[in-house]
Structure 1
Amino acid sequence: MSNLYGEFNQKIDYVFKVVLIGDSAVGKSQLLARYARNEFSLDSKATIGVEFQTRTLVIDHKTVKAQIWDTAGQERYRAVTSAYYRGAVGAMLVYDMTKRQSFDHVAKWLDELRSHADKNIVIMLVGNKSDLSTLRTVPIEDAKDFAQSESLFFMETSALEATNVESAFLTILTEIYRVVSKKTLTANDDMDSGGKSALLKGTKIVVPGKEGSSEGKKATCCS
């Protein structure tokens, strides 16, 4: 009981909202279940509306609470859009590597994300169901090229086999932390008229999604 009580009183330094987007049946809910609860359900039903899970982790000695939102990919539930994206600092854009159509729709999802979300949002392209490699219809080169052209992080995952799921979420959350902590440093610096502030002025925050960003384009990662 004392452990549970201690967890409730744990000091949270940051809360990061991350949204999962992409076509229906690409495995968004399974990725979330695998990451948040280490579960996978073979008879998973389509998500209706919105649900979210949380997981707390430590990044650079800071306690981060990840609040991960999952919504239905079907068109008829798209009315949730603006509220769903509000406050999100990260997004996972998921496609099914065995369904070419889900990858072809990625550009549309990315346009919607960028029109509703903060311009500094960290985005990762995720090719799910890598366990079904014999059924692949999306070459990894196509996904890598798209990710690089749009300055996205990229990883292939398998929610079924738990392949790269931890790595994908840790990568996006660590990058969000890097961006947010630099923003905090810059904001504090602007308020400080002391001697050190002059040295830190003009610190650039480079995030994925900015055109011409060399850091943003270190996006690709092998599966």
Structure 2
Amino acid sequence: MQFNSSALPTHAYCENPDIILCGNKVDMADQRVVSEQRAKEVSEKFGFQYIETSAATGQNVENAVNHLLNAVMKRMEVAVDSSRLPGRRGRSKGFLMNEDDEAEEGGSQCSC
């Protein structure tokens, strides 16, 4: 199993993206190339959660998506709480307000 973790953040929204390693085609165990143990070792090495899935049967697909969404939502919660969202620059503006909105609002700050 060849894996290049440094390539993952290239197109991510941050330097430390939320990642779940999915072993797909679990329904085709007889054709398996990478053992579950090896996949788990790689996921542990890089700090990822590992879930075996099957797109054909749907096995664990919802589980994998939910785990990833939960991780992203936790990250967003932390970012909102500490005002670290992109474009916030430490200001206490509303979540969806951008710099153009600020000009239209006469510079008033929304705390909603």
| TM-score of the alignment, normalized to the shorter chain, above 0.5 | yes
Among candidates 140, 146, 151, match of residue 42 of structure 2: 146
In 1, the alpha carbon distance for the partners of 2:82 and 2:65 equals 26
- The runs of at least 4 aligned residues of structure 1 exceeding 2 Å deviation read 114-117
In 2, the alpha carbon distance for the partners of 1:138 and 1:178 equals 31
Kindly provide the amino acid, as one letter, of the partner of residue 147 in structure 1: S
Among candidates 102, 105, 113, match of residue 8 of structure 2: 113
After superposition, give the CA deviation of every residue in 1:53-92 in whole Å (9 maximum; x if it has no partner): xxxxxxxxxxxxxxxxxxxxxxxxxxxxxxxxxxxxxxxx
Among candidates 76, 82, 90, match of residue 180 of structure 1: 76
Helix, strand or coil at the partner of 1:162: coil
Hey, what does 2:31 align to over in structure 1? 135
**How many positions carry a matched residue from both structures?**
86
Query: CA contact under 8 A between 2:22 and 2:50: conserved in structure 1?
Result: yes
In 2, the alpha carbon distance for the partners of 1:112 and 1:175 equals 20
Q: Which of the two has greater strand per residue? A: 1
Q: Which of the two has greater helix per residue? A: 2
In the TM superposition, residue 191 of structure 1 has moved relative to its aligned partner by 5.6
Query: CA contact under 8 A between 2:9 and 2:16: conserved in structure 1?
Result: no
List gaps (5 residues or longer) in structure 2. 85-89, 93-112
After superposition, give the CA deviation of every residue in 1:140-171 in whole Å (9 maximum; x if it has no partner): 11111111110112101001111000000011
List gaps (5 residues or longer) in structure 1. 1-102, 193-223
Calculate the TM-score normalised by the size of structure 1.
0.36
Give the root-mean-square deviation of aligned CA atoms.
1.9
Hey, what does 1:160 align to over in structure 2? 56
Helix, strand or coil at the partner of 2:82: helix
Larger radius of gyration: 2
In 2, the alpha carbon distance for the partners of 1:182 and 1:113 equals 22
Q: Percent identity?
A: 27
